[in-house]
Amino acid sequence: MPLWSCKSTGTTLSAIALTLSVINNAASLLSGVPGLKPAVEGVLSLVKVIQKVHGNTEHAIYLAEMVKNTVKQIYGSVESNPDSMNERLEWDLKTLRVTFLHIECKIEKQMNRKWYNRALKRDAMSQILDECTREFDNAQQVFLNSSMETIYDLDSKHFNLLLEAAREAGYKTRQYSSAETRAKLTAEFKRIFGPDEAPYDWQLDVTEAILLGLDAIVIAGTGAGKTMPLLLDEQRNKMILILSPLNELEKDQAERFERMGLKATPVNGETWSNALAQEIKARKHRS
């Protein structure tokens, strides 16, 4: 059975805890990576506390999923190359563990408070979980941004070979120029975000890959810039699908895109209708 598969068909906190336990049991790998084992143990402890939360299942699962996915990405990179953890990443991993402990304490403190009204208790816990989610999201972004270049270098060799082959094929068939394309993309990026800003190399690589017809999977923290390659390429009549775990998050993302001048339509059980389906099919929900 693959490391990340689980017999449970539903995404539950028990399944998340089981996945993390599998990582924790891989002692031979963890023992050789400074800082990884204590961090995973901190995650397991946090998930056990989250499992005790009642009445806020959706919020709790979302927070636990965020925690799990971060460890999953770290573990996957280390598994492919045990030498990937340098001193900077080790320090960042320790900082991330401190965040785990702080969030765990906040949730436990809230659970231990006495409430005489069940609805008020549930609402208070919901607020705490939202605060913890934002706190973890900020810590996760700092960690993933600092580790992005290291992880990218380790996992991109195969991608780079495919991209270079696609560039050569593009040059032979239509005089495609990688340098010219990247210069245009960088100029457009600076026009939108300011003259002092510049895109990451991986953003330009992924944008090129899309333009050249390659598939690309990007794993990065919230706010790292995953959307940029989708917005700056030169494809015609494109439609972008963004999957969100929560309806409220989906609504917030759509509103953010609208403020940027980009047409965005939330599609979920609350908004879906035959009329909306026909409008989407007719491509009316496009910028």
C-alpha separations of 155 from 5, 105, 174, 220 in Å: 21, 35, 29, 13
From first to last of the 287 residues of the chain, give the pLDDT tens digit.
333 333 433 455 676 676 667 666 665 566 666 667 777 777 778 877 887 777 777 777 777 777 777 777 666 666 655 555 555 566 667 777 778 788 888 888 888 887 777 778 788 888 888 888 888 777 776 666 655 555 455 456 677 888 888 999 989 888 999 999 999 999 988 888 888 888 888 889 989 988 888 877 777 766 778 888 877 765 556 667 777 778 888 888 888 888 877 788 888 888 888 888 888 888 777 66
d(CA 22, CA 151): 22
- pLDDT of the residue at 119: 78
- Identify whether the C-beta of residue 81 lies closer than 8 Å to the C-beta of residue 154: yes
- pLDDT of the residue at 86: 59
- Identify whether the C-beta of residue 129 lies closer than 8 Å to the C-beta of residue 175: no
Amino acid at the residue 163: L
User: What tokens does 212 get?
Assistant: 């050249």
Host H or E run for residue 123: helix 118-155
d(CA 209, CA 2): 28
CB atoms within 10 A of CB 111: 14
- Nearest Cα residue to 14 out of 71, 61, 74: 61
Would you list the domain boundaries of the chain? 13-147, 156-235, 240-287
- pLDDT of the residue at 234: 58
C-alpha separations of 97 from 47, 52, 102, 218, 220 in Å: 13, 20, 9, 24, 19
d(CA 134, CA 128): 10
| Phi/psi of residue 46, nearest 5 degrees | -65, -45
Query: Tokens 């969100």 identify what position?
Result: 244
